[in-house]
Structures are given as structure tokens and as C-alpha cells.
Structure 1
Amino acid sequence: MSRAQRIDTHQHLVPPRYAKWMGEKGIRPGGIDLPSWSPSAALKFMDGHGIAVGILSLSTPGVYFGDVPEARRWAREVNEYAAEVVADRPDRFGFFATLTLPDVEGALAEAEYALDTLHADGIVLLANNDGRYLGDPGFEPLLQFLHERQATVFVHPGELPGPEVPGIPTFTADFLLDTTRTAISLILSGSMEKYPGIKFILAHAGGFVPSISYRILLTMLNTKNKAQQAWALLDQKHQVPKQLSVLRKFYYDIALSASPSALPSLLEVASPDHITYGSDFPFAPAVAVGFLNKTFERYPLDAGLRAAIDRGNSENLFPRLKG
């Protein structure tokens, strides 16, 4: 598989009016300045890093700041802007639609509009929304809708619902914990069983999920009070406790995670057909993406698995990109 065939499921857009709005609010997402972005800059980056298609999404902090009408207006504007970018170059771009959580009514309306009218490739959800994680019972109507639509949902981290540590940007570790928390929330709430039609892509190799998989297992067993018996029940195919098979239902992108330390944990936990390529451009600068790409390319992988991560697994998620 040629490097030029990559499908990037973790690439962001920064609409000009949204950037101005964030500036007026004094927001630095992840503790860093909002990067400059344009479709032409994205295409130049993609051409230089072997990326054929970028699935664009709005990053944290999204559009909800306590004002429901405001959030609904901005979600619509961001999604229509993204749809225009895709319409100009459908061969190079797709997009995940932004919703209005924790405003569930607005989220349902915007999801339907984005999928049916704007033909979004999927939905992006922040890991926590005003401090509420995705397994929250109040979000079930949206999960039910997304399940019925067999939607692909990109889960992106945001600011933790707690104070920052002075001097440490929140993207360094807080983002990874945020993703981990929402994955556990989806598992413990039963959402992964109740809504199997949703294809959840966890950003950044699932945060800490792969490396703490057995701690997640302990939590699951303690919740069900079955700790004494379950350790002996192995999935014979994968030789891990059967309860951990839920982790293989998630998809994971490798954005900022293609390191010699992170990849082995991810490959141990994830299903080989549930790993996608991700860059995190423009929040990850091009030089960092290039370094991580080279690290990924040097990592000893079967050629078929490498091709699946670069493109094949994403083609299965987004059939319109096949070919």
C-alpha cells in the first residue's frame, strides 16, 4: 500500500469565524494557541505526508458554553462550513459533524440534519460534555439514534472537569485521561452492548485504555461482583479474559501515538481491523507528524496490517472512499 493512500480519521478544521469566536473568548484548546488552518494548507500538509483523504472534525472545546441557542447556531455554521469544504474536494476530504451535547434535543436535530442533508461521514463527540461522560443515562436518546443510523462516531478528548495543573498543558496527559474515562463510562453503562451499531473511534490510541486494560477489567468485575471466578474464563482465540473483548469493539486511531512504547499496547488490545491512521493536524505540527510517521513506518508490522491501518480499515468505515 502506497503511503499516498492514507485515510486520516483524526484531522481537524478551524473555520475562520469559529477561530475569531474562540479568540474573543480567550480560549486556548488543550493549553496551546489555536493553530492557523485553511483547506489549501491542509491539502499541502496531506500531499507532504502521504494522506489521500482527511476526515475533518472540530476539536475541543466544541460549541457548547452553557448557552443552548448559541451552541445550536454554531454547530450548524461549523457543519455547513465543513460540508462546503468537502463539496469542493470530495476526493480529498470528509467530515465528522459537530453536535451540541449536553443539549440532547439539539444534538439529535443536528445529527439528523448533518447526516441526511449535509451527508456527513460521521459524528464527532467530545469525551465529556459539561462534565458528563458518554455513558451518562441522559445521553441514551442520542446513542440510540446513532445506533439505528449505524453511525461512525469519533470520540475526541476535551478539558477534564477539574482544575488544570499549572505549567502542564492539558493535551499532555489530561486529554488521554478524558478519553479513557469516557471509554470506561460506555463500558460500565452497558452502552457498548446496547448500541452495537455505533462504531466508536477513540482518539490517540484510546488514551490510557490499552495500558490499563486489566485495571478496567478489575473495575468491571468489581461492579458485577464476579472477581473470584472470571480470571479463569479466557477468550480462547485471544487468550485474554472474555470481559476484555469489549475493548476490541472500539476503533482506535494512532494520532500522536505511533511510538515504540504505545504501539505494542495498542496492538495487544485492539482488533487489527479496528485501527486507523490519524495525524491530529493542525494541532500537531507537520514536523511532529512527519517524525511519528517515520516511527510508524519503521515499526515491524505485517504488510497487510500496515495497509489496513493506513487505509483499508477506514475504507470499511467509509465505503464511499473505496477505490
Structure 2
Amino acid sequence: MSRARRIDTHQHIIPPWYADLLHEKGIRPGGVDVPPWSEAAALEFMDSHDIQTAVLSLPAPGLFFGDIAETRRRARDINEQCAEAVTRHPDRFGFFATLTLPDVDGALAEAEYAVDTLHADGIVLLANNDGRYLGDPGFEPLLAFLHDRGTPVFVHPGELPAPVVPGIPTFTADFLLDTTRTAVSLILSGAMEKYPGIKFILAHAGGFVPYIAYRILLTMLNGKDQAEQAQVLLDPQHHVPGYLAVLKQFYYDLALSGTPAALPSLLEVAAPDHITYGSDFPFAAPPVVGFMDAQYTQYPMDSSLRAAIDRGNAEALFPRLKA
């Protein structure tokens, strides 16, 4: 274990009423059973995995099931419950407030209440909301609000707007594609350039984003004229870094991703001060987190970078949590 007391930016809250709701609807998030959760169990897990503070978030599938009024009520309930947990344990918990997308008006109202009244540490948004990704023009009023406030936004994947493949849990690959789709959506829509005040944190090391960085580059060039394409591709040393700089605007958490297979691509693409520790508890059970932590701590890495990932980068994102 690292000696640093970690800040976990990818840890979920699953209150009993939410677990009951998912059971009633027959939903298995990511294709797995809803794990048990309690505040006491979360603290016990954190103490045994060198985590000082967890920034809690509601997991996929969120709260929207077609009824806008009910979604708004439940969003207020979960955000106030999270705020109460922070009040009880201000040094152990923070929270990303849950919104009501695709209901933009409700999302704006809840974001303002969560940030101004409940003092949420950030906002959690699903990568797609009823099939619409975050670069959708209809979400611009919310992005403008979050940009103006300089808000950290945790982007969590959910089910793809596509049929599932029998026998393959959606957390295996679909979740990673969902995150990738929304990151590309934000880039191609111009949202990353227009709303740089938003600090987007992509779950699970950005899904496939680091691995397909150069495919994203080619997609960005696709709309350019042939002369500009040739200029970039024939002199990549001078031009490619400028295009790929947009990927360094994103933050990336290490939930289920701090492995010798994933870290080389992530460290090549991400800015060193834009990587945070994540556990994915309770969907990742303690033995799983222990295994992933061992992969991460054994990976050759400069000690200053590891300290930044474990804590320093999150402290910069969430000044309230500075030691």
C-alpha cells in the first residue's frame, strides 16, 4: 500500500431504497447483482484500503425511468442523504450530486441547489442519458452552468443504447465504450473547447479513450480539408500534440484500471496531474480492490506521480479535502 491516505473519486452509495428500486425494476447494473452497502461498511472498507476520503456517487442507471417528477424527488432525496453523510464525517466523505438528465430544467435546478445549498463537491452525470450523449446540443444549458461554476463532473458509464450481448455482462466492455462515446461526443461537439471550466473525470481510465487516442485524432481530422490533414499527418511531431491536447483536459480515475495492461496507454495520454485513485466499491468487492491495488502499487512509477494520483490531484480538484 502507498503511505499516502488516498482520496477515492469513484466510490458508490447504494441506500436501501435505491437497491429496492432496482430490484423492483429487475435491473442488474452492469449485468451484476446490486451489492449491499451501508455507511459503516464503507468506512470499514476505506480503513482497510488506505482510503481517507471517498467522494460518493449514485451508480448507473441513475434515477430517470420516464417519470420526471419522480426523478426530481429522488434526486433531491439522494443528494440530501449524501450531504448528511458528509456532515457526519466531513473528512471521510464528499459527494457528487445526482441530477435528473435528460430533464435539463430539473438538472439545472438540482445542480444549483446541490452546489449552493448542499455544497456538493461535484456532479455525477451518466455518459448517456436516455440514449443522448453529453455533447448533445440539448444539454448545453447545463454544461454552461457547470462551466461557469468550475464544477468537477464525474462521468460514469451506463448501459449502451443498444441490445446487450447474451452472456457478456455489460460492465465488461459496454461500460467502457459508453464512456468513450461520450468523451468523443464532447470533443467533436466543441464542448471541451467551449466549456473548459468543467473538470470532467472519466471513469475507469477513460474507457477506451487512451488506447484509441490516434483514432480519435483521425476522427477530428476527418472534417478538415486535405491540405490540413496532410500537414498534420506528414509532420506529426509538430501537429499531433496540439490535437491530442484535448485528451489532457479530461481527468481519469483508476477504478478497475490501474493495471500493467491499462496504465501504459493512460500515462501516455493523460496529464500527470489529471489522474485520480478510484476503487469502484461496493461493485468492486474488497478482494477485487485489493487485487487491483496490488497491480497499481507494483507498477513502476515515480513516487511523486503515485502520491499525486493517490491524493494530490484530488486535493487540487476538491480543495475542501486538503490535508
TM bin, normalised by shorter chain, reads over 0.9
* Runs of 4+ with >3 A deviation: 1-4, 232-236
Q: 2:301 aligns to what?
A: 301
Q: Where in structure 2 are the equivalents of 1:161-180 lying within 5 Å?
A: 161-180=161-180
More moved, 226-235 vs 276-285: 226-235
Work out the CA distance in 2 between the residues paired with 1:79 and 1:221. 41
Figure out how many residues of one structure are paired with residues of the other and give that number. Answer: 321
**Deviation at residue 26 of structure 1 after TM alignment:** 1.2
Q: Which runs of 5+ in 1 are unaligned?
A: none
SS in 1 for 2:154: strand
Q: 1:228 aligns to what?
A: 230
Q: 1:120 aligns to what?
A: 120
Instruction: Give the TM-score normalised by the residue count of structure 2.
Output: 0.97
- Residues 3-50 of structure 1 deviation map (CA, whole Å, 9 limit, x = unaligned): 351000000000111111111111111000101001100000001111
**Deviation at residue 224 of structure 1 after TM alignment:** 2.8
User: 2:298 corresponds to which letter in structure 1?
Assistant: R
SS in 2 for 1:224: coil
Work out the CA distance in 1 between the residues paired with 2:235 and 2:37. 50
Give yes or no for contact 2:221–2:229 (8 Å, CA) kept in 1.
yes
Work out the CA distance in 2 between the residues paired with 1:212 and 1:24. 38
Work out the CA distance in 2 between the residues paired with 1:180 and 1:159. 13
Give yes or no for contact 2:4–2:311 (8 Å, CA) kept in 1.
no
**Deviation at residue 70 of structure 1 after TM alignment:** 1.1
Instruction: Give the TM-score normalised by the residue count of structure 1.
Output: 0.97
Answering whether residue 263 of structure 2 is matched by residue 263 of structure 1, we say yes
Q: 2:190 aligns to what?
A: 190
RMSD of Structure 2 on Structure 1 (CA):
1.3
Work out the CA distance in 1 between the residues paired with 2:322 and 2:5. 11
Give yes or no for contact 1:235–1:242 (8 Å, CA) kept in 2.
no
Work out the CA distance in 2 between the residues paired with 1:235 and 1:157. 33
Q: Where in structure 2 are the equivalents of 1:11-26 lying within 5 Å?
A: 11-26=11-26
Work out the CA distance in 1 between the residues paired with 2:281 and 2:108. 28
Q: Where in structure 2 are the equivalents of 1:9-48 lying within 5 Å?
A: 9-48=9-48
SS in 2 for 1:210: coil
Give yes or no for contact 2:4–2:307 (8 Å, CA) kept in 1.
no
Q: Where in structure 2 are the equivalents of 1:30-179 lying within 5 Å?
A: 30-179=30-179
- Residues 55-101 of structure 1 deviation map (CA, whole Å, 9 limit, x = unaligned): 00001000001111111011111111111111110110000000000
Give yes or no for contact 1:233–1:241 (8 Å, CA) kept in 2.
no
Work out the CA distance in 1 between the residues paired with 2:191 and 2:141. 11
User: 1:56 corresponds to which letter in structure 2?
Assistant: L
**Deviation at residue 223 of structure 1 after TM alignment:** 2.3
Q: 2:201 aligns to what?
A: 201
Give yes or no for contact 1:234–1:242 (8 Å, CA) kept in 2.
no
| Cα distance, 1:155–1:233 mapped onto 2, change above 3 Å | farther
SS in 2 for 1:183: helix
Q: 1:312 aligns to what?
A: 312
**Deviation at residue 279 of structure 1 after TM alignment:** 0.3
Work out the CA distance in 2 between the residues paired with 1:205 and 1:240. 21
Q: Percent identity?
A: 72
Work out the CA distance in 2 between the residues paired with 1:223 and 1:29. 37
SS in 2 for 1:197: coil
- Residues 168-211 of structure 1 deviation map (CA, whole Å, 9 limit, x = unaligned): 00000000000000000000000000000000000000000000
Work out the CA distance in 2 between the residues paired with 1:254 and 1:7. 12
User: 2:274 corresponds to which letter in structure 1?
Assistant: H
